A and B are shown apart, each in its own frame.
Chain A
Amino acid sequence: MRDWMKMAGIRSSEITDQRLFRQRRQLIQASLAAGVASVLTHQAAAQAASLPGPIARSAFSTDEQLTSRETATTYNNFYELGTDKGDPVRYANRLKTEPWSVVIDGECSKPGTYTLEDVLKPHAIEERIYRMRCVEAWSMVIPWNGFSLAQLLKRFEPTSRAKYVAFETVVQDDLPGIRRNVLQWPYREGLRMDEAMHPLTLVTIGMYGEVLPNQNGAPLRLVVPWKYGYKSIKSIVRISFVEEQPPTSWNMSAPQEYGFYSNVNPGRRHPRWSQAKERRLSGDTSALAALFASKIDTLFMNGYADEVAGLYDGMDLQKFH
């Protein structure tokens, strides 16, 4: 029995029989993807639109205390909407997510321009509660809704020449942040093929059981939990299978500070600030209590070392940071 059911005082007799539940779930899952796509396309602009449920919780989830939805949706880095943490939510409606399509190109058998519905249709949505560690030394715990990127990428049948996957964020004239070249637009990110195919790497369409708010990268973003937050690229419009390591935005801006890999690593100091500790933003305490909260130790690979350390066997992580 889930904790929240206990807390809500729900008796076992009120819970649907497992067998019945499974049958229903198969039915629901068949219609789920279509439902998700239609919710996304028709309600993306609306705040707090629920995703069609039920959404199964993935075993990859942490049981740490969640960051409040309020905090995770009002304290953001999304430079296309402005560099202040409050800018993304302030200018969220400048981002137009409808219609949305994603260009798939490069070394694959099925390149093309896919509508958001095409991209999402076959996939069942899970909940993944991940730690999110920003390079600025703060962190959150967020329940994301999405599916493994690997499932999506396989559909386009990457060829043996595809060694990396490159991603691009949308550029729209109305986005207030793109008027200044704080970074070179479009925002670019990339992963090595094995990182992209790792089951932890999540294509994300929602959070807290609701459609992804614009300020969090609607309608489609990545979440790569063992890397610094900027690797989890938002509002994706292009996915390219490439042979060479692709250029990435923060690396282009300051290569000595932000590497291509950008794995969370407390032992590799950012040249200008320590990465040994982080401030966990939970958002459920008063501002006064938050003033006296201690920082917590940052974990190697953001605590996902058991799952991903093998990807970097034999690599010098100081050099390939």
Chain B
Amino acid sequence: MHSIVVRIAPGVRWSSWLKPVVFVLALTPFVYLLHALFTGALGPNPIESLTDQTGTLAIRLLLISLSLTPLRWLLKDTWPIRLRRMLGLFAFFYAVLHVSIYLFLDQQLDLAAIWEDLSERPYIVAGTLAFLILVPLAATSTRKMVRRLGRRWSILHRGVYLAGAAAVVHYVWLAKGDLLEPLVYLALLLGLFTMRFMRLLRQT
């Protein structure tokens, strides 16, 4: 299968620019948040603002990385797959920020309060589950681990569907009043699952 070849500069294929450009795009919100933090643009409740924004970014990137495989089918081209690991790791990066802000800044490591959250609030359980699934996926994302684990790697990394579902459920469950954004993510997630399921049916 061939990539689409567009000449940007002599001898440079556009697809070689793809990864660095997407890398910068995915990092931009982080730079923006840091800048907003130092300029006071996060408003009077920066902990709430940072928690919300890093959480939303993690979910968006997770959904984007989940959409790359279906995108390959649609485009009949492989370039989306080359972004998959990087965007998955960016989703994990924002998830780490999100969880760290919750543990260290919001709860200030108050173990009793964290335990109360875990034991009484299903949305915290869903979010924790999503994060815990992402940890081994991030840890086994290197080429070396892909080779070493072989078939088991693909099975392990199917966990990303579960992480995506848990993360979106986490968001739907915690929202107060305005459910529009979490429900849009839920609809996208269900759409992506449906595409994969249909393909599975056709193949068997």
A-B contact pairs, 18 of them (CB 8 A): A71-B44, A74-B43, A75-B43, A79-B178, A83-B177, A183-B177, A272-B123, A272-B173, A272-B174, A279-B48, A287-B42, A287-B46, A290-B44, A290-B46, A290-B47, A291-B46, A291-B50, A292-B105
Residue B180 at the chain A interface, CB threshold 8 Å: yes
Docked Cα-Cα span, A187 to B68, in Å, equals 43
Residues of chain B within 8 A (CB-CB) of A292 are 105
Residue A10 at the chain B interface, CB threshold 8 Å: no
Contact check, A86 vs B43: say whether CB atoms are below 8 A apart: yes
Residues of chain A within 8 A (CB-CB) of B46 are 287, 290-291
Residue A136 at the chain B interface, CB threshold 8 Å: yes
Residue B96 at the chain A interface, CB threshold 8 Å: no
CB distance from A186 to the nearest CB of B (A): 16
Docked Cα-Cα span, A85 to B177, in Å, equals 13
Docked Cα-Cα span, A294 to B50, in Å, equals 16
For window 31-74 of B, CB contacts with A under 8 Å fall at: 37-38, 40, 42-48, 50
Docked Cα-Cα span, A86 to B43, in Å, equals 8
Partner of A281, one of B37, B44, B116: B44
Q: Across the two chains, which residue of chain A brings its CB closest to B120?
A: A269
Interface size class of A (residues with CB under 8 A): 20 to 34
For window 164-179 of B, CB contacts with A under 8 Å fall at: 173-174, 176-178
Contact check, B113 vs A279: say whether CB atoms are below 8 A apart: no
Residue B77 at the chain A interface, CB threshold 8 Å: no
Residue A4 at the chain B interface, CB threshold 8 Å: no
Docked Cα-Cα span, A71 to B48, in Å, equals 14
Docked Cα-Cα span, A34 to B178, in Å, equals 41
Q: Across the two chains, which residue of chain B brings its CB closest to A269?
A: B120
Residue B121 at the chain A interface, CB threshold 8 Å: yes
Where the two chains meet, the residues of A that have a C-beta atom closer than 8 Å to any C-beta of B are 70-71, 74-75, 79, 83, 85-86, 136, 138, 180, 182-183, 253, 269, 272-274, 276-277, 279, 281, 283, 286-288, 290-292, 294-295
Contact check, A274 vs B117: say whether CB atoms are below 8 A apart: yes
Residues of chain B within 8 A (CB-CB) of A253 are 177
Residue B108 at the chain A interface, CB threshold 8 Å: yes
Docked Cα-Cα span, A286 to B180, in Å, equals 32
Docked Cα-Cα span, A70 to B45, in Å, equals 13
Contact check, A136 vs B176: say whether CB atoms are below 8 A apart: yes
Partner of B47, one of A75, A274, A276, A291: A291
For window 143-175 of B, CB contacts with A under 8 Å fall at: 173-174
Given A180-B180, A269-B120, A274-B116, A288-B43 contact (CB < 8 Å): no
Contact check, B48 vs A138: say whether CB atoms are below 8 A apart: yes
For window 128-144 of B, CB contacts with A under 8 Å fall at: none
Docked Cα-Cα span, A295 to B105, in Å, equals 10
CB distance from B69 to the nearest CB of A (A): 34
CB distance from B196 to the nearest CB of A (A): 31
Contact check, A138 vs B45: say whether CB atoms are below 8 A apart: yes
Docked Cα-Cα span, A273 to B127, in Å, equals 14
Residues of chain A within 8 A (CB-CB) of B123 are 272
Contact check, A287 vs B177: say whether CB atoms are below 8 A apart: no
The 7 closest A-B pairs by CB, nearest first: A71-B44, A83-B178, A287-B46, A75-B44, A281-B44, A287-B40, A283-B44
Contact check, A286 vs B45: say whether CB atoms are below 8 A apart: no
Q: Across the two chains, which residue of chain B brings its CB closest to A250?
A: B177
Residues of chain A within 8 A (CB-CB) of B43 are 74-75, 85-86
Contact check, A182 vs B47: say whether CB atoms are below 8 A apart: no
Residues of chain B within 8 A (CB-CB) of A83 are 177-178
CB distance from B173 to the nearest CB of A (A): 7
Residues of chain B within 8 A (CB-CB) of A273 are 121
CB distance from A7 to the nearest CB of B (A): 25
Given A272-B123, A274-B116, A288-B38 contact (CB < 8 Å): yes
Q: Across the two chains, which residue of chain A brings its CB closest to B101?
A: A291
Residues of chain B within 8 A (CB-CB) of A75 are 43-45
CB distance from B100 to the nearest CB of A (A): 12
CB distance from B63 to the nearest CB of A (A): 21
Docked Cα-Cα span, A187 to B121, in Å, equals 28
Contact check, A281 vs B178: say whether CB atoms are below 8 A apart: no
